[in-house]
Amino acid sequence: MVDWQGNISDAEWLAYPETKRLISLLGESAIRFVGGAVRDTLLGLDKNDNWDIDVATTYTPEKVIEILENSHVKVIPTGLKHGTVTAVIDNKIFEITTLRHDVETFGRHANVEFHHNWEEDAKRRDFTLNALFANASGDVFDYTGGFKDLKAGKVRFIGDAKKRIKEDALRILRFFRFFAHYGRGEMDKDSLNASLTSKTLLKTLSVERIFIEFLKLIAARDPLPCLRVMEDGGVLAIILPEIEPVEVLKDLIALEIGLGEINSIRRLSCLLPKKLKHLKEVGERLKFSNELSRNLRKLQYLDQNINSSMNDIAIKHALYNYGYLTLRDQLVLKSKIKDLEGVNRICRIAKNMVPPEFNIRGNDLIERGYESNQKLGHALSYLENLWLESDFMISKEELLRFLD
């Protein structure tokens, strides 16, 4: 039975040429869109062309593969056992899953049976706000009360919350993540109680799944109320025992909201231990990428010369030493909401400022008789320090005279 029916035919993503092609290939009656694209359209949130679109279908995964490959569409068998394939149409990604129900579940793993019942498929999903379907014409079908919950800012498990968590413990973190992004008021009591009493199941998850979900959570506009509940309920002690008390984020979140610029890596940096040794240990446990580890190291030791009252020369020095992105992130991490005007001013100046360039190279010194050795390196450092101390005013020709 449909609890509510609406229409989102004016959704931008429904008009994508790639979406229209998928509809034409699989047929309007065989597919419906589900999950984030439908949910966020109903909330009036802007869409991003890089967002993935989830699709449900009555076709078996083998039939989906056959139809799409015959039309030269790239298909990736991302989860055949669960009925999921990924289609790539002109760089647009569609995750297509056959209607199913779980016969047996073993944590994340399950034996499934495919079927043709849209309502039954909706009821096996995690939260009511994620179980909203839309067909090719934009007609929305709600079988679980998801629209009412969505409008009320209520994140609620479908059916028995503990049973849904037992099927996949990651749903505990997803509950908190979706509340951080979409929730308002008090958390649903049954869903919260089930999440907290089942928290030890989080130990069965891979660190990669936990970390990805946590990054998505702290990317919410203001995740602090949700993080406080997770901290008080012992969830954070299980998944991230190394982090600082979440209150350290209070000033940073307020400033980011004021700037209109949310950065989950910056927030993560604020939470992580400040000693390089401990940061490395956390990175190894959570399997940080090399790039993420490098970026976090840049933010662990804040330059005391970077502050919201810097003048143009100080900004130029910071820009030379760190580049714009690290300068911006260090400035935001060090500032408070009262510094908002100064932070905005510095970011605006730095973004439009051409970074100074030390244009003396080793070859310039070799031409003056230096050999490629340690002495040449010392000479270059000496000249660079003179240049920096002059606030970038000494010309190349004047600097080279210091070697005469």
Q: Which residues pair with 95 in a beta bridge?
A: 54, 86
Residue 284 phi, psi (nearest 5): -70, -40
- Residue at a domain's end among 213, 241, 269: 241
Helices first, then strands: H and E counts in the chain: 21, 10
pLDDT category, 24, cuts 50, 70, 90?
Answer: very high
Q: Which of 230, 233, 272, 283 is nearest to 249 (CA)?
A: 272
274 and 313 in one domain?
yes
pLDDT in tens, 194-231: 999 999 999 999 999 999 999 999 999 999 999 999 99
CATH classification at residue 91: 3.30.460.10
274-316 per-position pLDDT tens digit: 887 888 899 999 999 999 999 998 898 888 899 999 999 999 9
Gap between the Cα atoms of 353 and 347, Å rounded:
10
Domain range for 162 is 156-241
CB 88 within 8 A of CB 72: no
Distance, in Å, from the CA atom of 156 to the CA atom of 194, rounded to the nearest integer, reads 11
What's the CATH code of the domain at 234? 1.10.3090.10
Cα gap 146→299, rounded to integer Å: 41
Same domain for 283 and 190: no
Provide the residue count of the chain. Answer: 404
Domain match, 148 and 11 both = yes
Query: Of all residues in the chain, what percent carry a pLDDT higher than 90?
Result: 78
- Structure-token pair, residue 334: 């060090």
Sequential DSSP letters for 275-311: SHHHHHHHHHHHT--HHHHHHHHHHHS--TT--TT--
d(CA 403, CA 207): 55
Q: Is the pLDDT at 244 greater than 80, yes or no?
A: yes
Are 322 and 298 in contact by the 8 Å Cβ rule? The answer is yes
Are 113 and 63 in a shared domain? yes
pLDDT at 223: 98
CB 125 within 8 A of CB 131: yes
Q: What is the mean pLDDT of the chain?
A: 92
Are 347 and 235 found together in one domain?
no
Strands (E), 115-258: 132-134, 139-142
Is the domain of 191 the same as that of 267? Answer: no
The reply to whether 27 and 142 lie within a common domain is yes
Q: Which of 97-101, 256-260, 266-270, 285-289 has the lowest mean pLDDT?
A: 97-101
Among 171, 206, 241, the domain-final residue is 241
The answer to whether the beta carbons of residues 282 and 273 sit under 8 Å apart is: yes
Domain boundary among 110, 133, 152: 152
| 15 and 108 housed in the same domain | yes
Average pLDDT, integer, range 368-376: 83
Counting the structural domains of the chain, the total is: 4
Q: How far apart are CA 379 and CA 385, in angstroms?
A: 10
Going by pLDDT thresholds of 50, 70 and 90, the confidence category of residue 48 is low
Do residues 272 and 217 both lie within one domain? no
The reply to whether 28 and 173 lie within a common domain is: no
In whole angstroms, what is the distance from residue 363 CA to residue 340 CA? 45
Q: According to the model, what pLDDT value does residue 80 have?
A: 84
Report the alpha-carbon distance of residue 99 to residue 104 in Å, rounded.
16
pLDDT band at 79 (very low <50, low <70, confident <90, very high): confident
Model confidence at 104, in pLDDT bands (50, 70, 90)?
Answer: low
Same domain flag for 345 and 226: no
Section 90-104 average pLDDT: 84
Q: Report the Cα–Cα distance between both ends of the chain, in Å, rounded.
A: 89
**DSSP secondary structure letter of residue 100:** E
Residues 166 and 137 in one domain: no
What pLDDT does residue 81 have? 82
What is the pLDDT, as a whole number, of residue 275? Answer: 82
Distances (CA, A) of 342 to 308, 313, 316, 347: 5, 15, 16, 9
